[in-house]
Amino acid sequence: MKNQLLLVTPPFTQLNTPYPATAYLKGFLNTKNIASVQADLGIEVILEIFSKAGLTTLFAEIEKKKPDLSENAERIIALKADYIQTIDSVILFLQGKNPSLAHVICQDDFLPEASRFNQLEELDWAFGIMGTQDKAKHLATLYLEDISDLIVETVDSHFGFSRYAERLGRSALQFDELYDALQQEITFTDRILLELLEKRLQESDPNMVAFSVPFPGNLYAAFRSAQYIKQHYPQVKTAMGGGFPNTELRSVSDTRVFEFFDFITLDDGEVPIEHLVEHLQGKRTIQELKRTFALVDNKVEYINHSKTPDYKQKDVGTPDYSDLLLDRYISVIEVVNPMHRMWSDGRWNKLTMAHGCYWGKCTFCDISLDYIKIYEPATAKILVDRMEELILQTGQNGFHFVDEAAPPALMRELALEIIRRKLVVSWWTNIRFEKSFTRDLCILLKTSGCIAVSGGLEVASDRLLKLIDKGVTVSQVAQVTRNFTETGIMVHAYLMYGFPTQTIQETIDSLEMVRQLFETGVLQSGFWHQFAMTAHSPIGLNPEQFSVIRETGVGTFANNDLYHQDKTGIDHEQFSFGLKKSLYNFMHGIGFDLPLQSWFDFKVPRTKISADFIENAIGEMETGFIKPSAKVVWLGTAPSLNFFTKNKKGNQWEMAELSFHTKKDLFSIQVSKSQGIWLEKMLQDISTSSSKSSLFQEIKSDYEQHVPDEHFEPFWYGKQVAQLKDAGLLVL
């Protein structure tokens, strides 16, 4: 059967796991019986270059070009025989196929070393913590980065492991520079890319090739690939969708773009791609397409006349990772920070809990676009069904939920469903640091396999958080991160500087807040980025309301990232190095006692934040008030119940002892006989193995009915129930 579609992720996104867009689309197409095949040309190009044959070709290419070389490049070339000899073994190790090589890699005389290894002295402290396998992964990563540096210097200045020719896609109001680059001779990387593309075209014989372009670093390779298809397979149609066109190309008007692509689709891809297939089959006219740009009568036209609604999350199918080289992705450790490595180490199946964002108010975010604006959660049952399908399909039980912000209520139900089905999984996601994440909810998430969360603290200033409309305060963030950390879930925070009207004092105070969050141990990882104004955010749409002057006009190509001027006149860029340097040290547990001034080479004001602000915030206990609608869950084992008679001063009364086995020990509690009988049944009813769920008000009423002679509140807030809470009695 002829494949209707070849779905392609062009170079480069990630080395360790496939970007999920084509797998999502293929899963949907399966539900419609539309034949498709997918390819991640990013990992395929990397594996082609970083092989014995690939490096042999690379060094021959450098020899032929005879470029002027830096001292570092000369060193690598002098050691080319060592690189060629070791590369295949190192790649196998990073693919998890040769774990015993770790001991050899950790020896000083196995890997050739160039400039990337100069940083090792600073990181020696970490290797003991990391262990041999992780140390070897880190050393192997430095080895690959040395080769990457050589490629950039000698044969392809565009090269990068997770991005390719990214500069050509960033803030490209006009198509001119990218178009000119595409008229130049193909690069070393291009040649390998096009050879692999040709092979895929021969194998799949598609009617249309659809490129997913999530980032600026995929754009050039997508255009270069489409150019090749137009030159050699003019009968094959080409289409582009994904994160980049969804945000950047919403007003594209340059007709030259359509020398490469026949169609550009926006937002959710399921209906647009289904309509394109029907159009190519002659079942639908071009004017009946959905959210699609095409060239009509030599003009770029946006066609959105279809009345077909978008599919609900329950109807889009399970992502399908077949065709992808799942056992050949490579896990690297660029930075020893345990949270940062999750983006580059390990294979993660990607899923989404909810389409869009349930908050949808942040003023810097593209909340006017459908991918944020239209909020639609899946059900826990559907999500766990998909998890089970993907485990069978891929053999991997790690999941990254790629939500804008995962909804806490759905996270709770997801965790309960995972626990009920006794799945053994690891998962992580992006959240908002909101007060719903209580200690008990964090314990439940950890029990279900949640290992980490990332979330936007943005600017650690309550005034600016209010201006952002983040819906949180710094104190609240501190308390939520405490709950996650004490439970054993790692926390990464996205941090922002240069938000409109942000003063120098607020920047320094924000840094002090971040310093305290790391010093108290409630934050394990973070990343600073400078504020960027986008066309579809409230700030971009109404810059005057935020004291910002928009300097960017409307171009004929990409129109999302906007140059702007903050009316305060502050040069926020000057803080970049100091903020990032201090954060690097804080993440490694050092530099807390240094004055903030020491991170900057220019005068900054003293912080106005008290030295114990975060410590006081995390010391605040959660309110004891329990909503009647709160769900009560028992994570522990069923107790053994024994009765005995207690004697005291001539009085006798019957007592119950409930004994509980935990994974580590045994503990018992003693209550009255009636309480013991009720408690045994109640714990059975609210156990995660039970199909029932009980609300706090229902439990209170049931207690009062069956134990009328003992008041509920003293019992519930007493020491016996406190022991049960420590052992897994949760109020959610």
Q: Residues 135-162, buried b or exposed e (16+ Cβ, 10 A)?
A: bbbbbbbbbbbbbbbbbebbbbebbbbb
Q: How far is CA 283 from CA 272, 274, 277, 297, 329, in A?
A: 14, 11, 9, 21, 39
Residue predicted with more confidence, 504 or 548: 504
d(CA 2, CA 652): 84
Lowest mean pLDDT among 42-56, 526-540, 557-571: 557-571
- What is the predicted pLDDT for the residue at 130? 57
Instruction: For residue 620, give the DSSP letter.
Output: S
Burial label, 397 (beta-carbon count in 10 A; 0-12, 13-18, 19+) = middle
The mean pLDDT of 250-260, rounded to a whole number, is: 96
Which stretch of DSSP H or E encloses residue 71? helix 71-78
Q: Global pTM?
A: 0.91
Lowest mean pLDDT among 6-20, 113-127, 314-328, 385-399: 113-127
**pLDDT per position as a tens digit, 313-340:** 999 999 999 999 999 999 988 766 667 6
- The CATH number of the structural domain formed by 337-619 is 3.80.30.20
| CA 601 to chain centroid | 34
**pLDDT per position as a tens digit, 666-693:** 999 999 999 999 999 999 999 988 877 7
Single-letter amino acid code for the residue at 573: E
- What is the predicted pLDDT for the residue at 107? 85
Provide the percentage of residues in the chain whose pLDDT is more than 90: 80
Burial label, 731 (beta-carbon count in 10 A; 0-12, 13-18, 19+) = middle
pLDDT over 60 at 459, yes or no: yes
- Fold observed for domain 5-42+165-315: Rossmann fold (3.40.50)
Q: Are strands 354-355 and 292-296 parallel, antiparallel or unpaired?
A: unpaired
- What is the predicted pLDDT for the residue at 335? 66
pLDDT over 70 at 409, yes or no: yes
Average pLDDT score over the chain: 92
Q: Are strands 533-534 and 561-562 parallel, antiparallel or unpaired?
A: antiparallel
The mean pLDDT of 125-133, rounded to a whole number, is: 61
d(CA 181, CA 68): 23
pLDDT over 90 at 399, yes or no: yes
Place 121 in a pLDDT band, splitting at 50, 70 and 90.
Answer: low
The mean pLDDT of 220-231, rounded to a whole number, is: 98
- What is the predicted pLDDT for the residue at 1? 45
- Going from N- to C-terminal start, the domains of the chain cover 5-42+165-315, 47-154, 337-619, 631-731
